[in-house]
């Protein structure tokens, strides 16, 4: 991968600036720094390696050189989009899941920000906002996809099992093709950010629908219930053992182990 191949591969898409780095700390950090300048909507940062890739809550995201897709997209939301920005993570997860499904992979979304294949994590998404006073100026959408087998971290370092596209397809696809497919679907779906169609599509690909799950967030006891769907802002909805409906805005979802 290099700057020329990247630009050539993405030339038909209506993107802003495109920057390639052989090695970088985190593409999200670079995008956040650029977002503060006059960088146009749909500008893209791509790296062949991340040395300080981040997940939520400053967890580490591994991107060994030459094995994975690590990119960040800078969105400058319109006034119409601004009330719907909590849905951005769903838009990105849908773009990844739907583009992988076109390759015959049964990709699902583990709320809020992971894409799974056969119950294992193949992609993580990190959305971060740049505020200007009370207003969101920019949203950075960071996407990490495990493409080659070597991108998958050792299982003892993981909270949730992981996989790669190479493992699932039998051969590693071209990273540039994966990136182009994801961006194409993202751009196609973006008008739905402001419609409930997005929520319906997102819900239709949710992993663990109807199943008994637990949601962990911080030190409070896990919330347990059957996964029933999504709220219009993208929050997760559960039904607990008393039949009450619970709305969850942040956390890590997993199937409830049998007692
Ligand atoms: C995420 O956080 O899954 C968001 C990951 C976002 C990564 C992209 S890459 C481009 C951009 N630049 C960045 O710096 N970040 C974004 P979370 O749900 O908190 O999951 C983090 C957890 O995933 C870690 O604590 C590990 O257990 C696990 N993990 C780390 N690297 C992984 C990998 N390559 N594949 C699968 N799981 C991984």
Q: Per-residue pLDDT tens for 72-124?
A: 999 999 999 999 999 999 999 999 999 999 999 999 999 999 999 999 999 99
80 CA → ligand 1 middle, Å: 30
Closest CA to 176 of 21, 6, 23, 14: 6
Judged on CB neighbours under 10 Å (0-12, 13-18, 19+), 176 is middle
Q: Which atom of ligand 1 is nearest to the CA of 62?
A: 31
Per mean pLDDT, which range of 28-37, 125-134, 215-224, 230-239 is the poorest?
Answer: 215-224
CB atoms within 10 A of CB 240: 12
Write the pLDDT tens digit of every residue in 9-47: 999 999 999 999 999 999 999 999 998 888 999 999 999
pTM score above 0.75: yes
pLDDT tens readout for residues 159-212: 899 999 999 999 999 999 999 999 999 999 999 999 999 999 999 999 999 999
If one compares 157 and 128, the residue with the highest pLDDT of the two is 128
| Atom number in ligand 1 closest to CA 57 | 19
From 89, 109, 124, give the residue whose CB has the most ligand 1 atoms within 8 Å, as the site to mutate: 124
For residue 31, report the distance from its CA to the centre of ligand 1, in Å: 17
In this prediction, residue 143 carries a pLDDT of 98
Q: Identify the residues whose C-beta falls under 6 Å from ligand 1.
A: 26-28, 50, 53-56, 59-62, 70-72, 113-114, 121, 124-126, 142-144, 146, 151-153, 158-159, 162
By CB atoms closer than 10 A (0-12, 13-18, 19+), residue 122 is buried
């Amino acid at each position: 991968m290099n700057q020329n191949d990247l630009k050539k591969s993405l030339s038909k898409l209506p993107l802003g600036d495109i920057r390639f780095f052989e090695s970088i700390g985190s593409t999200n950090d670079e995008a956040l720094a650029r977002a503060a300048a006059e960088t146009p909507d749909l500008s893209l940062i791509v790296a062949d390696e991340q040395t300080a890739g981040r997940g939520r809550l400053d967890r580490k995201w591994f991107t060994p050189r030459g094995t994975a897709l690590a990119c960040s997209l800078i969105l400058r939301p319109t006034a119409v989009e601004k009330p719907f920005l909590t849905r951005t993570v769903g838009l990105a997860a849908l773009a990844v899941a739907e583009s992988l499904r076109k390759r015959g992979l049964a990709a699902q979304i583990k709320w809020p920000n992971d894409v799974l294949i056969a119950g294992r994590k193949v992609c993580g998404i990190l959305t971060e906002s740049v505020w200007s006073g009370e207003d969101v100026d920019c949203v950075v959408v960071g996407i990490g996809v495990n493409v080659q087998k070597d991108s998958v971290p050792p299982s003892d370092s993981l909270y949730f099992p992981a996989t790669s596209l190479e493992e699932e397809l039998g051969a590693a696809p071209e990273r540039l093709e994966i990136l182009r497919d994801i961006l194409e679907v993202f751009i196609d779906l973006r008008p739905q950010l402001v419609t409930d169609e997005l929520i319906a599509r997102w819900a239709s690909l949710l992993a663990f629908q109807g199943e008994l799950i637990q949601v962990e967030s911080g030190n409070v006891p896990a919330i347990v219930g059957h996964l029933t769907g999504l709220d219009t802002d993208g929050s997760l909805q559960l039904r607990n053992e008393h039949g009450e409906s619970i709305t969850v805005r942040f956390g890590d979802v997993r199937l409830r182990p049998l007692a």
